[in-house]
Amino acid sequence: SARIWAPWNLLCEDEACIGDAVQVYNHAKIFIGKRAVVSQGCNLCTGTHDYNDPNFKLIAKPIYIGPHAWIAAESFIHPGITIGEGCVVGARSVVTHDLPEWHICVGHPCHPIKLRTRLY
């Protein structure tokens, strides 16, 4: 089953899916759009720390996953990221910056490699 740190900070639209063993570390809001999928073992992380602060102050930034997006297995989504509508994130990718709509994106760091056919 998925592990959701703060259920009140998670908003899933109709038919959104969170797979088994997903870590939802949501100090800030996470939005998962209509028919979006977050596959097994992914990590959605809204929290990081200020490494210049001697107390490592917590910094929380929201994550937005657009409608019809698919985050494939074991990917890591950093704080403050927007995944565009219809975007596919390849398995085990590390997303460090926003990704565009209707693209297939892969890698560490994750980057667009080609357009995806618009379904809707």
State the residue range of the domain holding 96.
3-115
Q: Which residues pair with 116 in a beta bridge?
A: none
pTM equals 0.95
Q: Is residue 120 scored above 80 in pLDDT? A: no
Identify whether the C-beta of residue 105 lies closer than 8 Å to the C-beta of residue 89.
yes
Q: Average the pLDDT over 22-48 and give the result.
A: 99
Q: Average the pLDDT over 91-119 and give the result.
A: 97
User: What's the total number of domains in the chain?
Assistant: 1
- Evaluate whether residue 64 is within a structural domain: yes
Residue 108 belongs to a domain with what CATH number? Answer: 2.160.10.10
- Evaluate whether residue 108 is within a structural domain: yes
Q: pLDDT tens digit string along 68-85?
A: 999 999 999 999 999 999
DSSP label of 8: G
- Evaluate whether residue 74 is within a structural domain: yes
Q: What is the pLDDT of residue 73?
A: 99
User: Looking at this protein, which amino acid is placed at residue 101?
Assistant: E
Tracing tokens 């297995």 back to the chain, one arrives at 73
The strand order across the sheet containing 3-4 reads: 3-4, 23-25, 43-45, 76-77, 94-95
Q: Average the pLDDT over 88-113 and give the result.
A: 99
- Evaluate whether residue 120 is within a structural domain: no
Q: What is the pLDDT of residue 119?
A: 78
